[in-house]
Amino acid sequence: MRIVFIGPPGAGKGTQSLKVASALGITHLSTGEVLREANEKGTPLGLRAKEYLDNGCLVPDDVVVELVAERLDGPDCERGYLFDGFPRTLPQAEILDRLLRERGLPLDGAVLFEIGEAELFRRLAERGRSDDDGYTIRKRLRDYAALTEPVAQYYTQQQTLHRIDAVGTQQEVFDRISRSLGFDA
Ligand code: B4P
């Protein structure tokens, strides 16, 4: 099974994707996590990503796509994968489609986390990561509206979008996702 999770920063994509990937026995791939790890290790990819991550900006598409393309053919991806936070722009969605087409694989579902701004600010203030200050959050939300919301429209047109109410306990949100994707929790 191949699934993507999209939603604004702090919507709970990372939290839920770990649970869903584990329930489905597929690999969890978080572009945010890979970029942060590369940054901490000081690899060439990390050094390129650092200024974007620190300022709450999206990392350029070519960097993210290179990272994703490398991972798709890993042995741990044979049973399927869940992309957490990818695609975040229309070009990324189109490239993912092409990568899947080349491998003769369909995308089984795109899950959109729906949540209001006040709850996002509350969650991110509590999480307190280095890119979770008020100014950076506002910038990330603007980027989300401009660059990532079109990705949700793209998947609506492809009839693969599952809209999920992301407000509630972690278990409630997980139950909504499992019902919508049609697997037993
Ligand atoms: P990500 O790592 O994807 O993180 P995020 O969007 O900020 O948060 P997420 O939605 O995963 O929320 P979480 O579960 O942590 O991105 C970070 C950065 O990486 C981006 O800004 C960008 O710079 C870069 N990046 C990543 N992918 C990219 C791409 N494809 N292209 C370009 N750049 C890219 O939850 C947040 C908090 O809420 C947590 O503290 C959690 O405990 C809490 N929470 C979760 N569920 C809850 C619930 N139901 N109730 C209450 N609290 C809850």
Best residue among 4, 55, 127 to mutate for probing ligand 1's pocket (most ligand atoms within 8 Å of CB) is 127
Best residue among 17, 20, 59, 65 to mutate for probing ligand 1's pocket (most ligand atoms within 8 Å of CB) is 59
Question: Which pLDDT score is estimated for 184?
Answer: 84
- Over the chain (185 residues), what is each successive 10-residue block's mean pLDDT? 97 97 97 91 90 92 90 92 97 96 96 97 94 94 97 97 98 98 88
Two structure tokens written together for 107:
């995308």
Two structure tokens written together for 39:
């940054």
Strands 81-84 and 109-114: unpaired
